[in-house]
Amino acid sequence: MSYAVLDASVFVAAVSPSEIHHVAARHLYDAYAADRAFLVPSLFRVEVLAALARRGEPDEVLDTVDLLVSGPRFHGVPVDSPLIERSAQVARVARLRAYDAVYVALALNTGAALLTLDSDVRATVAEVFPSLSFAVPEQ
């Protein structure tokens, strides 16, 4: 089984029909979930649950999502010193927000494709780190 790095914003949009990018996120997630597991920073679970809770999602949705992201398809990677160092480098060079830098660094460190809907991140990072591959939604 191969891996892809899943940006939390893609997952939140994929599971939340009220999100503006729900359809694109759902297509992207479904296309990769079929035959890949996801690499995510260890804080992914907290990031996703916090985003959904802030939006007022019911406890049943939070429980289901918590169970899913705690399952075998999601591999939490520790946010340890090497990942922090790479993230800091990415943030400085690509001028990204902290969480975006962590996801990009994780993808760079593992050679996995990054699933993101953020076209600004894709454009900026592609210029600075041309070896990074992105999973993009079907148009």
- pLDDT for residue 32: 85
- pLDDT for residue 34: 82
Sorted by where each begins, the domain ranges of the chain are 2-135
The label of the residue with tokens 């454009």 reads 123
The set of residues, in sequence order, having a beta carbon less than 8 Å from that of 44 and lying 6+ positions away, is: 6, 8, 11, 69, 74, 76
2-135, what's its fold?
Rossmann fold (3.40.50)
- Output phi, psi for 28, to 5 deg: -65, -50
pTM comes to: 0.92
- Does 1 score more than 80 pLDDT? no
pLDDT in tens, 19-78: 999 999 999 999 888 888 999 999 999 999 999 999 999 999 999 999 999 999 999 999
Nearest alpha-carbon partner for 116 in 46, 40, 34? 40
- pLDDT for residue 74: 96
pLDDT in tens, 79-123: 999 999 999 999 999 999 999 999 999 999 999 999 999 989 999
